[in-house]
Amino acid sequence: MGAKILVSACLMGHAVRYDGQAKPVVHPALDRWRAAGRLVTICPEMSAGMPVPRLPAEIEPGRSAADILSGKGHVRESNGGDVTGEFLQAARNALALAIETGCAYALLIDGSPSCGSGYVYDGSFSGRRQRGEGVTAALLKANGIQVFSDRQIEELVAAAGR
């Protein structure tokens, strides 16, 4: 059996996103990995005690996930509330679970201020995307876990094996 894969719970059909929805992904590799016991599911925000549904949150304009991890920025809700602490705890929880269960890879929903790996929103709550990553994705990468977005399942198959 290959290394385990940490997966965003919303991609596995759990209704845990900020809007109370799921974003299920269907792919034969996911079915194989699930059957082989290789998938470890987490919603980082829920692991940090955030509710479902919850207000949309974005990394503040001009800041990156690296800034958040180094204490130089904030994650804000659409009403201005500061949820930086929750997002940091979410990232630490995901990393701890990945290490504890032997995950070498992560498959995370793109766009999220936690799980985004290709893009995040620009902090203006206007729906504008920008290249970047979320706090959890950045912490996982910094600790040697290969992170793939929901649009990169074929790349994950190539890296993690069938």
Q: How many angstroms separate the CA atoms of 102 and 141, rounded?
A: 15
Domain of 113 in residue numbering reads as 4-160
- pLDDT string in tens for the chain (162-residue length): 689 999 999 999 999 999 999 999 999 999 999 999 999 999 999 999 999 999 999 999 999 999 999 999 999 999 999 999 999 999 999 999 999 999 999 999 999 999 999 999 999 999 999 999 999 999 999 999 999 999 999 999 999 987
Structure tokens at 1: 């059996």
Domain count for the chain: 1
Is this structure's pTM higher than 0.95? yes
